[in-house]
Amino acid sequence: MQEFSYLTRSIEPHVKKAVEEFPAVVLVGPRQSGKTTLLKQLFGGDFRIISLEPPDVRLAVTNDPRGFLSLYPPPVIFDEIQYVPNLLPYIKEIIDEQRSQARQFILTGSQNLLLMQQVTESLAGRTAILKLLPLSNWELVGLPARSLPWEKTTNDPIPDRSPKELWDQILRGFYPEIAKDLSRDVRLWQASYVQTYLERDLRNLRNIGDLTLFQVFLRALAARSAQTLNLSELARDVGISVNTARDWLSILEASFQVFILRPYFANIGKRLVKSPKVYFMDTGLLCYLVGLRDIEHAMSGPMGGAIFENYVVAEVLKIFHHRGEEPNLYYWRTSDGAEVDLIVDTDGILIPLEIKQTETPHPRTAREISAFQSLFKEKAGKGYVIHSGKMALSLAQNVTALPLNML
């Protein structure tokens, strides 16, 4: 198998800073997002790395947690802490006894729902929590320290890619193991990932009896990516209750497979659509779930625009999380149909973004951004139409068409 060098991650300086400032650091993210590889790269010479996934290790922790911790004293990295959450109070005990020591525990986990509750209860005030998602495009091209367009006027340019190259990456996805290794069978990897995820993570989070029905739900959800989500309609189409659909959606969100974009509300005296939109964390898995295998069908098919939008929104989400920040992202749509795909709330300024899979952006694509700016006045910042072409153009006052490689 072809080997690839380590890709620098945007989150690295934030992990280092957190380790210096907190007695415990928790790094969460989906399976295969590169958490262990990152920690080996940064701390492999100083921290011992112990996986808590093997059954015999879990049994040892359960039987004698204090004895286990005495065998593996800090500084130590405990991988997949969600398998033994009963270890957390004993880690707290050691931290409280040794508060003067900075570099102690690093914990990783791939399930957010129960883990965060347990960490909050056991390590409140003693830990920093960071999220590592699949590779961002910045990381993939070797420019992890770029800035977003509204933050900085100049940036190192991202190399141009043809539409074929872009969509090949969208289909392949951004998990490190396959993002750059073109020799890997992408479909086989994605099928294995979904199956492993279903069998291991979901059964740990919920007692899901019918995995086949859950797969139907997962594929039906993928077909609704970047759309306003009607949970009742989705439940009816799959043949499950609304409560079950809501529960399964929360599982997918908690395990970093999807994220929910909620509408932006403000006291503007105009009724807004209240339903959320759903996006998949990785476009490769999204394309796999909806059965897209080749570039032409993905790019030109009926889901082309939705997949492109999913890709851009996921990129913005990863950029913020890999800075150690919790992003404030929304969409905006009124009951009469006016819509802006993405609203980025940054320091109280609302940055509106429209996302269009077109190489020739037209001034009319700026209308709804202009309407949003007019409505929110000084609270609204400069707007952008992110497109798949190659030219930056002024479309209206305070609205710029921005090619994807300038994002």
DSSP string, 173-184: -S-HHHHS-TTS
List the structure tokens of 306.
């939705």
Same domain, 149 and 240: yes
Q: By mean pLDDT, which of 73-77, 109-113, 221-225, 364-368 is the weakest?
A: 109-113
Domain that holds residue 354: 137-406
Q: Are 353 and 340 in contact (CB under 8 A)?
A: yes
pLDDT of residue 1: 42
Q: Is residue 294 part of a domain?
A: yes
Same domain, 149 and 111: no
Q: Is pLDDT above 60 for 133?
A: yes
3-state secondary structure of 226: coil
Tally of CA atoms within 13 A in the half-sphere of 173 that contains its CB: 29
Q: What is the pTM of this model?
A: 0.93
- Percent over 90 (pLDDT), the chain: 64
**Can you name the residues that pair with 78 across neighbouring β-strands?**
50, 107
Calculate mean pLDDT across residues 357-380. Answer: 92
Please, what's the b/e burial string for 138-164 (b: 16 or more CB within 10 A of its CB; e: otherwise)? bbbbebbebeebbeeeebeebeebeee
List the structure tokens of 399.
């609205």
List the structure tokens of 39.
């920690």
Q: What is the pLDDT of residues 87-112, one digit of tens each?
A: 999 998 888 887 665 558 999 988 76
Q: Is residue 1 part of a domain?
A: no
pLDDT of residue 42: 95
Q: Is residue 312 part of a domain?
A: yes
Same domain, 122 and 191: no
Same domain, 240 and 358: yes
Q: What is the pLDDT of residues 155-183, one digit of tens each?
A: 777 888 899 999 999 999 999 999 988 88
Same domain, 168 and 110: no
DSSP one-letter code for 395: E
Same domain, 85 and 198: no
- Please report, as a single letter, which amino acid is at residue 310: N
Q: Is residue 7 part of a domain?
A: no
Same domain, 201 and 117: no
Q: Is residue 305 part of a domain?
A: yes
Same domain, 361 and 216: yes
Nearest to 76 by CA among 113, 56, 99, 51: 51
∠ CA 179-186-193, nearest 5°, is 90
Same domain, 193 and 266: yes
- Alpha-carbon distance 344 to 218, whole Å? 27
What distance lies between CA 78 and its chain's CA centroid?
22
List the structure tokens of 261.
């974009």
Calculate mean pLDDT across residues 84-89. Answer: 89
Q: Are 219 and 237 in contact (CB under 8 A)?
A: no
**Domain final position from 131, 160, 193:** 131
Calculate mean pLDDT across residues 183-201. Answer: 86
∠ CA 9-10-16, nearest 5°, is 85
pLDDT of residue 209: 67
**Domain final position from 131, 160, 175:** 131
Same domain, 101 and 54: yes
- The domain spanning residue 45 has which CATH number? 3.40.50.300
pLDDT of residue 2: 46
- Percent over 70 (pLDDT), the chain: 92
Q: Is residue 6 part of a domain?
A: no
Q: What is the DSSP string of 27-58?
A: EE--TTSSHHHHHHHHHTTTSEEEE--SHHHH
What distance lies between CA 270 and its chain's CA centroid?
31
pLDDT of residue 315: 97
pLDDT of residue 103: 58
pLDDT range class, residue 347, cuts 50, 70, 90: confident
3-state secondary structure of 276: coil
Nearest to 27 by CA among 194, 251, 206, 256: 256
Mean of the per-residue pLDDT values of the chain: 89
CA distances from 86 to 117, 126, 150 (A): 12, 17, 44
Helices (H), 85-162: 88-97, 113-123, 137-140
Q: Is residue 79 part of a domain?
A: yes
∠ CA 307-35-195, nearest 5°, is 55
Nearest to 344 by CA among 304, 387, 322, 312: 312
- Alpha-carbon distance 44 to 47, whole Å? 6
Q: Is residue 3 part of a domain?
A: no
- Alpha-carbon distance 332 to 351, whole Å? 11
What distance lies between CA 119 and its chain's CA centroid?
20
Number of domains in the chain: 2
Q: What is the pLDDT of residues 274-290, one digit of tens each?
A: 789 999 999 999 999 99
Calculate mean pLDDT across residues 107-127. Answer: 76
Q: Who wins on pLDDT, 130 or 199? A: 130
What residues contact 377, with CB distance under 8 A and at least 6 apart? none
Q: What is the pLDDT of residues 216-272, one digit of tens each?
A: 999 999 999 999 999 999 999 999 999 989 988 988 988 899 999 999 986 554 556
Same domain, 191 and 322: yes
Q: Are 240 and 285 in contact (CB under 8 A)?
A: no
What distance lies between CA 40 and its chain's CA centroid?
22
- Alpha-carbon distance 377 to 374, whole Å? 5
**Domain final position from 100, 131, 162:** 131
> Before 75, cis peptide (omega within 30)?
yes
Nearest to 288 by CA among 299, 298, 277: 298
Same domain, 211 and 196: yes
Angle between helices 211-222 and 242-254 (to 10 degrees): 80
